[in-house]
Amino acid sequence: MEKVDQLLENAITRGLITGGVVLVGNSKGVLFEKVYGRGLGGQEATPLSLDTIFDIASLTKVIATTPAIMKLAEERKISLVDPVVKWFPEFSGKGKDDLLILNLLTHTSGLDDFSLGSANPLRSAIEGAAQQRLKGEVGSRFRYADINFILLGELVRRVSGVGLQEYAADNFYGPLGMDDTGFNPDRAKMARCAATRGSENQLLQGMVQDSLSRQLGGVAGHAGVFTTVNDLSRFCRMMLNEGELDGVRVLSGRAVRQMTVPYFSRGGNVVRGLGWDIASPFSSPKGNGFSRYSFGHTGYSGSSIWIDPATDTYVVLLTSRVEYAKTKEFSRLRSELSTLAASLFATPLEIVGMAGGAAE
């Protein structure tokens, strides 16, 4: 535990973050949780707590959008191999007939991000993606792009008839008891939010940091969810329990397994699940000690989760991030935390019956 303290306190001393919350757990509950430092805003900033609500940025992709898509697929309302044009007639005749929902989930669509129009941002996102020339053959190239999940968030609305915000709340956050999780925090929750810095260095409290998400009204498939460390812990436990928590099932075991096995691999250098990261340039929270069966995701605001079913362990890091230019240092913080978590808390592979080359 002392090494975890030293790691976080050193990150604060170096000005990488002003504070953070760490939680490590397994399928049964929390093994370690601790709060460090305070939020942004100088000495007057409120100290962080276990109840602090954080903007988790791109964790939205796996905490809201991906499970929503998997739920709709589980209910046979969509298929992962549906052509995107089936649900987005705007793509008709644009040379993208081979583009599948699966490609959006794995960032193998060939689409790249672009600026959105101010008059109707969602329409400009859809039409811009439809008109864009694809970079390479569909399915052949991994290129992480928010537009993939902006489209998926809109797909949830088109298929279900309700917005991503309502769909995630009704199907996941409510049933799982994630009471502090959702988009666009209300006034009471805003007061509990850790601030982030906007593009003009202004403090944003309770307002999503991601500029595209703000343009889209704070509800988007790629960013916009706010949550606490304990709510995220409940979601991670649900994943380790293959879709169930405290007797409440929100996803089938098959859907969870399907999300978290490799769907794209390029020579082992990039391995992606559906929405989830397995091994890629974004996999710093994997650290050393978690198995090749592990998966997770990061968020630009300073958040990350990594989950390992082989060792029955997960680690959550939520921070008030200061230095965005020092990406290598921040990646090292995530990696070293997970390495410590694996060494201190992970169940040995031979005990959980996944020995024989599972560890990397």
CATH number at residue 177: 3.40.710.10
**What is the token pair recorded at 251?**
């996803």
Same-domain pairing of 221 and 204: yes
Residue 357 lies in a domain: no
Same-domain pairing of 124 and 262: no
pLDDT at 360 over 60: no
Count how many residues are written for the chain.
360
Domain count, the chain: 2
- Write down the pLDDT at residue 102: 97
> What CATH number corresponds to the domain at position 137?
1.20.58
pLDDT at 176 over 70: yes
Assess contact for 260 and 273: CB atoms under 8 A: yes
Same-domain pairing of 334 and 204: yes
- Write down the pLDDT at residue 359: 31
d(C-alpha 224, C-alpha 217), whole Å: 9
Same-domain pairing of 204 and 252: yes
Same-domain pairing of 253 and 286: yes
**What is the token pair recorded at 94?**
């644009």
Same-domain pairing of 190 and 154: no
DSSP, collapsed to helix, strand or coil, labels residue 131 as helix
Query: Where a domain ends, among 164, 191, 210?
Result: 164
Same-domain pairing of 175 and 202: yes
Per residue in 63-86, pLDDT (tens digit) is 999 999 999 999 999 999 999 999
Residue 64 lies in a domain: no
Assess contact for 37 and 44: CB atoms under 8 A: no
Residue 116's Cβ-side half-sphere holds a number of Cα atoms within 13 Å equal to 20
d(C-alpha 158, C-alpha 152), whole Å: 10
Query: Where a domain ends, among 96, 129, 164?
Result: 164
The secondary structure element, H or E, covering residue 227 is strand 225-227
d(C-alpha 206, C-alpha 21), whole Å: 18
Same-domain pairing of 304 and 196: yes
- Contact residues for 178 (Cβ-Cβ < 8 A; gap 6+): 172, 227, 231, 234, 235
DSSP, collapsed to helix, strand or coil, labels residue 54 as strand
Same-domain pairing of 153 and 292: no
Per residue in 279-311, pLDDT (tens digit) is 999 999 999 999 999 999 999 999 999 999 999
Same-domain pairing of 169 and 119: no
pLDDT at 356 over 50: no
Assess contact for 70 and 255: CB atoms under 8 A: yes
Kindly report the average pLDDT of the chain as a whole number: 94
Sign of the C-alpha dihedral computed for residues 351, 230, 3 and 279 taken in this order:
positive
- Write down the pLDDT at residue 105: 98
pLDDT at 139 over 70: yes
Query: Where a domain ends, among 125, 141, 164?
Result: 164
pTM, 2 dp: 0.94
Residue 154 lies in a domain: yes
**Closest-CA residue to 59 (of 332, 317, 254, 325):** 317
Q: CB 289: neighbour CB atoms within 10 A?
A: 20
Residue 284 lies in a domain: yes
- Average pLDDT, integer, range 181-201: 94
Same-domain pairing of 13 and 26: yes
pLDDT at 358 over 60: no
Q: CB 12: neighbour CB atoms within 10 A?
A: 18
**What is the token pair recorded at 132?**
């864009």
Domain that holds residue 78: 70-164
- Write down the pLDDT at residue 349: 57
Long-range Cβ contact pairs of 179-182 (< 8 A, separation 24 or more):
179/231, 180/51, 180/53, 180/226, 180/227, 180/228, 180/231, 181/63, 181/225, 181/226, 181/227, 181/228, 181/231, 181/232, 181/235, 182/225, 182/226, 182/227
Same-domain pairing of 234 and 337: yes
Q: What percent of the chain has pLDDT above 90?
A: 89
Model confidence band, residue 323 (pLDDT cutoffs 50, 70, 90): confident
